[in-house]
């Protein structure tokens, strides 16, 4: 591809950016908030005469094809992605990429049709990046474009973009930051849109959620800039305080925002590193979200994930906090509520909590051993659930109080599993070491971790039994 001037690329992509800006307010009203667009009678007649009303044709047989304004924006975003991926294009447009980031970020707002999807599917905060329905959307592709540009944009422009996002959490949207974007607006549609972003609570709610999505997705850049002292301590503190305010006040109306804030906290933990005081404060805030009666299942699951990451940052083995006593009952309850895809989250959280305070962790084997064994009996061949439960059993087996409880429930089942497996080989009357060697031989080099873990656990079980 020949080397063209920055002016050439600007002329090539500028009409696309102008159209993206032009459609933003209409897209927000119709797709984000599902509002019917209102026209004056005179405008309707004019559009009918000039055939401006859209009707879907027969050009495609794909049922999932996006059309109308959503389809238009998808095509514009895809075109921008394809163009910016070309050699030298990103370099030639570096001076105006900040403007484009501010153009495209409005398309990261969660659309109306996704709200019910997220409320009905508690896994969404965990699986959103891999969900087929989510990947090929305007929101997802706009976010991908922002991430791609952030890799190439100069540090100063990236810093300015992140600071604009951070300021909008506490100071609202400042129209002065969008002056270059407004120059692309030929019909003055953007000004009332920006005003709504500061005055309409529904707009503010969606703006916060989208900005948190972008901030969490650019967490590594944010942490790097902080380590370089390009972001001030006050910038970071204001962000943490904002996140803490959201996660400490969950309710039915803001569950998606709370879930997004928890997801964001998990990604930004390296900002606080080994600051135990701050980690403890965050631990308490996340615990509130987990235990609050208004928190739905999706919030509780992402809170689990967040608590696990926090515990991994806490280097203590006798961590003391009043919230722990309320967290464990919620985690036990989640063992019943979570499905196979997310069951690993409360299990991992119980394991992580057990490692920072073994004494308080005993409440789980004391009150939920039967449930743990039931889960293990169902998922002992699962590639991760079975292994994690055995890790917990090893932790609990180190204390006589919990070991006595486990013997009566876990050992009979574990022995049954191995005896049944060994009988299936047609061999009986063998010692434990014979069984172990036979099982490992049968499974060969491809032996599942759960089998090996079971075998390694048996001496521990026999020790406590005898």
Retrieve residue 129's tokens: 């990046």
Question: Distance (Å, rounded) from C-alpha 209 to C-alpha 114?
Answer: 13
The domain locations on the chain are: 362-466
Rounded to an integer, what is the distance from CA 139 to the centroid of its chain?
Answer: 14
Provide the pLDDT for residue 461: 41
How large is the average pLDDT for residues 248-273?
92
Residue scoring higher pLDDT (380 or 77): 77
Structure tokens at 172: 């609202």
Identify whether the C-beta of residue 360 lies closer than 8 Å to the C-beta of residue 319: no
Exposed, middle or buried, 249 (CB in 10 Å: 0-12/13-18/19+)?
A: middle
Residue reference for tokens 């508690």: 122
Q: What is the pLDDT of residues 352-391, one digit of tens each?
A: 999 999 999 999 988 898 898 889 888 878 889 988 988 8
Q: What percent of the chain has pLDDT over 90?
A: 50
Cβ atoms of 126 and 305 within 8 Å: the answer is yes
- C-alpha dihedral sign at 358, 364, 370, 373: negative
pTM score, whole prediction: 0.84
pLDDT band per the 50, 70, 90 thresholds, residue 191: very high
pLDDT confidence of residue 458: 43
CB 129 within 8 A of CB 137: no
**Measured distance CA(416)–CA(201) in Å, rounded:** 59
Rounded Cα distance between 428 and 431, Å, is 9
C-alpha dihedral (158, 160, 164, 165), degrees to nearest 10: 20
The residue written with tokens 């084997």 in the block is 365
Contact 211, 165 (CB under 8 A): yes
Q: What per-residue string of b and e applies to 290-306 under the rule 16 or more CB within 10 Å gives b?
A: bbbeebbbbbbbbbbbb
Per DSSP, the three-state class of 30 is: helix
Q: Alpha-carbon torsion 77, 83, 88, 92, what sign?
A: negative
Q: Do 16 and 77 meet the contact criterion of CB atoms below 8 Å apart?
A: no
CA-closest candidate to residue 73, choices 142, 2, 1, 172: 142
Task: Give the Cα separation of 332 and 300 in Å (integer).
Answer: 12
Tally the residues of the chain.
Answer: 466
Asked if residues 145 and 80 have their Cβ atoms less than 8 Å apart, the reply is: yes
What is the pLDDT, as a whole number, of residue 3? 44
Least confident of 17-26, 59-68, 299-308: 59-68
pLDDT of residue 83: 83
Per-residue pLDDT tens digits for 437-465? 554 454 444 334 343 444 344 444 443 44
**Tokens representing residue 143 in the block:** 């976010």
Mean pLDDT of the chain, nearest integer: 82
Calpha distance 407→369 (Å, rounded)? 10
Are 363 and 321 within 8 A, CB to CB?
no
Greater model confidence, 146 or 46: 146
Q: What is the pLDDT of residue 429?
A: 59
Report the sign of the C-alpha dihedral through residues 109, 114, 116, 119, in that order.
negative
């Amino acid at each position: 591809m020949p080397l063209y001037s920055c002016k050439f690329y600007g002329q090539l992509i500028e009409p696309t950016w102008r159209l993206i800006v032009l459609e933003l307010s209409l897209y927000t009203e119709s797709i984000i908030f599902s509002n019917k667009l209102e026209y004056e009678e005179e405008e309707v007649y004019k559009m009918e005469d000039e055939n401006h009303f859209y009707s879907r044709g027969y050009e495609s047989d794909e049922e999932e094809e996006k059309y109308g304004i959503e389809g238009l924006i998808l095509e514009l975003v895809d075109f921008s992605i394809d163009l910016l991926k070309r050699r030298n294009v990103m370099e030639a447009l570096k001076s105006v990429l900040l403007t484009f980031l501010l153009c495209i970020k409005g398309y990261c707002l969660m659309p109306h049709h996704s709200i019910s999807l997220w409320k009905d599917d508690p896994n969404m905060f965990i699986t959103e990046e891999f969900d087929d329905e989510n990947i090929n959307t305007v929101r997802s592709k706009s976010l991908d474009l922002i991430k791609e540009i952030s890799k190439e944009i100069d540090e100063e422009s990236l810093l300015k973009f992140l600071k604009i996002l951070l300021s909008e959490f506490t100071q609202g949207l400042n129209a002065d930051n969008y002056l270059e974007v407004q120059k692309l607006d030929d019909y003055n549609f953007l000004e009332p849109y920006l005003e709504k972003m500061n005055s309409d609570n529904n707009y503010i709610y969606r703006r916060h959620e989208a900005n948190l999505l972008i901030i969490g997705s650019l967490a590594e850049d944010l942490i790097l800039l902080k380590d370089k002292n390009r972001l001030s301590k006050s910038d970071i503190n204001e962000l943490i305080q904002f996140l803490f305010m959201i996660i400490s006040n969950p309710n039915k109306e803001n569950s998606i925002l709370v879930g997004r804030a928890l997801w964001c906290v998990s990604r930004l933990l390296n900002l606080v590193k080994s600051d135990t005081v701050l980690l403890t404060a965050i631990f308490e805030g996340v615990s509130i979200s987990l235990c609050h009666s208004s928190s739905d299942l999706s919030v509780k699951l992402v809170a689990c994930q967040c608590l696990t990451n926090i515990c991994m940052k806490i280097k203590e083995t006798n961590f003391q906090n009043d919230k722990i006593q309320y967290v464990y009952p919620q985690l036990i309850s989640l063992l019943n509520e979570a499905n196979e895809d997310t069951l690993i989250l409360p299990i991992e959280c119980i394991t992580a909590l057990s490692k920072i305070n073994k004494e308080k962790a005993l409440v789980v084997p004391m009150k939920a051993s039967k449930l743990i064994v039931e889960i293990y009996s169902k998922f002992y061949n699962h590639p991760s659930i079975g292994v994690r439960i055995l890790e917990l059993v090893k932790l609990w087996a180190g204390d006589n109080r919990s070991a006595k409880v486990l013997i009566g429930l876990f050992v009979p089942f574990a022995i049954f599993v191995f005896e049944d497996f060994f009988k299936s080989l047609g061999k009986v009357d063998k010692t434990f070491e014979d069984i172990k060697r036979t099982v490992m031989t049968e499974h060969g080099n491809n032996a599942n971790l759960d089998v090996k873990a079971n075998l390694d656990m048996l001496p521990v079980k026999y020790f406590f039994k005898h």
